[in-house]
Amino acid sequence: DKLFAPNLRRLEQAQQELFKDFDIENPPLLSYYDQLKKRFKLPSRSLLEFEKEGYRKFIRMLKKVNKVLVRRAKEQARNTARKLIMNHSGSARVKFEAELANILIQHQSVKDENILKTK
């Protein structure tokens, strides 16, 4: 503990030095935005916040809709698969199950790609 105390104190001093002119209510980035706003007639900060929240809600809604569609597609695929498996027997059934597994693996990889794109 004694070893880290001087370093911790130095770190705190450095932070105080860095943020001495930093105004929480009006951070530098926002004051810079205000300057640009005047020059280029940009929307106000409150409107930006409102739009940001709107986009978040829209994205949440899309994700929910997507989940519902994926669930329906899976149910439909399962039902179809069950019907087909009931009608298959022997080697044809094994081939079909392998094909079905392949389709499900592809679906999972597409889903993973979509998740990565949304992050």
Quick one: pLDDT band at residue 7, thresholds 50, 70, 90?
Answer: confident
pLDDT tens per residue across span 23-50: 666 666 777 777 888 888 777 777 777 7
- Centre a 10 Å sphere on the Cβ of residue 93 and count the other Cβ atoms it contains: 14
* Residue 81 scores a pLDDT above 80: no
CA angle 56, 36, 31 (to 5 degrees): 75
Quick one: pLDDT band at residue 4, thresholds 50, 70, 90?
Answer: low
Does any domain span residue 4? no
Range of the domain at 104: 63-119
Structural domains of the chain, count: 1
Average pLDDT, the chain: 74
Does any domain span residue 67? yes
Tokens at 32, concatenated = 């810079």
Does any domain span residue 31? no
* Residue 89 scores a pLDDT above 70: no
Share of the chain above pLDDT 90, in %: 0
Does any domain span residue 44? no
Does any domain span residue 16? no
